[in-house]
């Protein structure tokens, strides 16, 4: 496998380690929501399994359709009738119903606005949103993950008051402690994240926030909608582990809030530097592999590691997104022999990397290399700012010293394609 040819468009190999949160698990972050999947039976299998594995199966229901339903012309009415039947069967009518449709719906060209309008008239206390679960749109400007974020935050209504709160959007989880939360608190601000709400009306307090922090590109369109419809401006703060980038983010955040936050970052920066030194002392020159399912910006993380003296040997990614291009170019200047691998490439089925030693960041790398040194991280979960750097260094030390069970990691991750 060549270093450049690994990004060619070719037949995909989808290994057992491939996947992530998926739309069903992300949508379940909305409190008091329910999800109705309208699709052929086969399309519902992996979401059903994902719901079971992630403990959210009670939030997910299905309306299975077949060719006869489509030909009959009653498809739209079936959805309305299906919602009626669903609400009759539930113990409690949800505050939000996400109606997911599969690829077939795109091919039919269904107009969902009249459907949602009729449902909203029948059930005025329920918010209805049409979402898509269509892999054929993954390479479009509006893939399912992007439109889902737009639907989730469209549930917020414009507020007449503004609170000293800041929203963190575009990332699935947030730690209860960390420099971002602590620094904002020192200036009188409270950090809000969708995962921390149990009630729908409580979740809606995010509409009163002074600012959105955009932590991941999937929510970029949602942040634009929030700025337009709610009057909440956005500061970009993609998850990163590089000191320069973290400081640059705090500079942007300071300007957006009209506060000088940089002096408050010093103790957190010092602690992160100490953790990096501790990890380097333990790991030494052992080769490291970085996985694009573990972190949003694998080239940025690999660059950070290389800049701090770690031996970065491989980056596993299915491409180089625009926001990673500069990091990729800098990385290649520092590590000229870097191996680039596409985990989806059909050659990976040959398992040609199992004869090499790697300390893997992410179990996808762990699977394709058969490594027993694996940091169990997926989609930057609970990582942000200098606290994220410290957490990652602790994970690397533990992964280096302890034998990993990658199969167990994959099973517990509850992966959804």
How far are the Cα atoms of 44, 100, 132, 143, 225 from residue 106, in angstroms, in the given order? 16, 12, 9, 12, 23
Q: If you average pLDDT over residues 82-110, what whole number do you get? A: 90
pTM: 0.93
Give, as one character, the DSSP assignment of residue 222: H
Identify which has the larger pLDDT, 79 or 43: 79
Q: Judge whether residue 171 has pLDDT over 70.
A: yes
Q: Does domain 165-264 have CATH number 3.30.930.10?
A: no
Q: Which residues pair with 345 in a beta bridge?
A: 12
- Amino acid 1: pLDDT: 37
Angle between helices 262-283 and 179-186 (to 10 degrees): 160
Identical fold between 31-147 and 165-264: yes
Taking the domains of the chain in order of start, what are their residue ranges? 31-147, 165-264, 268-413
How far are the Cα atoms of 17, 106, 360, 413, 416 from residue 368, in angstroms, in the given order? 9, 34, 10, 17, 18
- Amino acid 6: pLDDT: 53
Fold of 31-147: Rossmann fold (3.40.50)
Q: If you average pLDDT over residues 144-171, what whole number do you get? A: 97
User: Is the C-alpha dihedral spanning 186, 187, 190, 191 positive or negative?
Assistant: negative
Q: Judge whether residue 4 has pLDDT over 50.
A: no
Q: Judge whether residue 3 has pLDDT over 70.
A: no
- Amino acid 133: pLDDT: 83
| Percent of the chain topping pLDDT 90 | 73
- Amino acid 2: pLDDT: 36
Q: Judge whether residue 183 has pLDDT over 50.
A: yes
Interior/surface letters 27-58, b for 16+ CB within 10 angstroms, e for the rest: bbbbbbbbbbbbbbeebbebbeebbebbebee
CB 388 within 8 A of CB 239: yes
Cα separation of 374 and 398, whole Å?
9
How far are the Cα atoms of 63, 129, 367 from residue 351, in angstroms, in the given order? 40, 43, 9
CB 391 within 8 A of CB 383: yes
Give, as one character, the DSSP assignment of residue 189: -
- Amino acid 142: pLDDT: 80
pLDDT band at 138 (very low <50, low <70, confident <90, very high): low
Q: If you average pLDDT over residues 352-358, what whole number do you get? A: 86
Identify which has the larger pLDDT, 74 or 172: 172
Chain segment 273-305, per-residue pLDDT in tens: 999 999 999 999 999 999 999 999 999 999 999
């Amino acid at each position: 496998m060549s270093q450049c040819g690994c990004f060619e468009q070719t037949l995909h190999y989808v290994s057992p380690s491939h996947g992530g949160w998926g739309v069903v698990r992300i949508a379940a972050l909305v409190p008091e929501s329910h999800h109705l999947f309208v699709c052929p039976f086969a399309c519902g299998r992996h979401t059903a399994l994902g719901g079971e594995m992630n403990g959210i199966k009670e939030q997910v229901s299905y309306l299975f359709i077949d060719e006869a339903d489509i030909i009959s012309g009653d498809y739209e009415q079936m959805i309305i009738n299906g919602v009626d039947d669903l609400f009759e069967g539930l113990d409690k009518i949800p505050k939000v119903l996400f109606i997911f449709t599969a690829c077939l719906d795109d091919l039919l060209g269904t107009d969902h606005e009249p459907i949602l309008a009729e449902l909203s008239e029948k059930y005025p206390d329920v918010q209805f949103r049409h979402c898509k679960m269509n892999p054929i749109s993954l390479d479009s400007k509006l893939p399912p993950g992007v439109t889902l974020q737009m639907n989730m935050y469209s549930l917020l209504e414009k507020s007449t008051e503004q609170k000293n709160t800041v929203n963190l959007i575009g990332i699935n989880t947030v730690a209860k402690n960390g420099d971002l939360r602590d620094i904002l608190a020192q200036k009188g601000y409270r950090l809000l994240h969708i995962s921390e709400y149990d009630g729908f009306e409580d979740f809606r307090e995010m509409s009163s926030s002074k600012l959105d922090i955009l932590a991941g590109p999937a929510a970029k369109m949602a942040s634009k909608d929030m700025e337009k419809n709610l009057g909440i401006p956005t500061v970009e703060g993609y998850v990163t582990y590089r000191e320069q980038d973290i400081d640059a983010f705090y500079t942007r955040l300071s300007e957006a809030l009209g506060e000088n936050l940089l002096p408050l970052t010093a103790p957190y920066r010092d602690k992160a530097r100490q953790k990096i030194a501790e990890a380097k002392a333990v790991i030494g020159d052992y080769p490291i592999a970085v996985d694009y399912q573990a972190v949003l910006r694998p080239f940025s993380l690999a660059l950070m590691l290389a800049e701090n003296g770690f031996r970065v040997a491989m980056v596993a990614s299915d491409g180089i997104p625009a926001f990673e291009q500069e990091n990729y170019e800098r990385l290649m200047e520092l590590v000229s022999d870097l191996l680039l691998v596409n985990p989806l490439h059909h050659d990976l089925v040959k398992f040609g990397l199992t004869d090499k030693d790697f300390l893997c960041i992410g179990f996808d790398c762990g699977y394709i290399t058969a490594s027993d040194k694996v940091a169990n991280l997926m989609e930057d979960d609970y990582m942000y700012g200098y606290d994220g750097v410290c957490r990652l260094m602790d994970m690397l030390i533990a992964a280096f010293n302890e034998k990993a069970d990658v199969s167990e990691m994959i099973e517990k991750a509850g992966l959804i394609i």
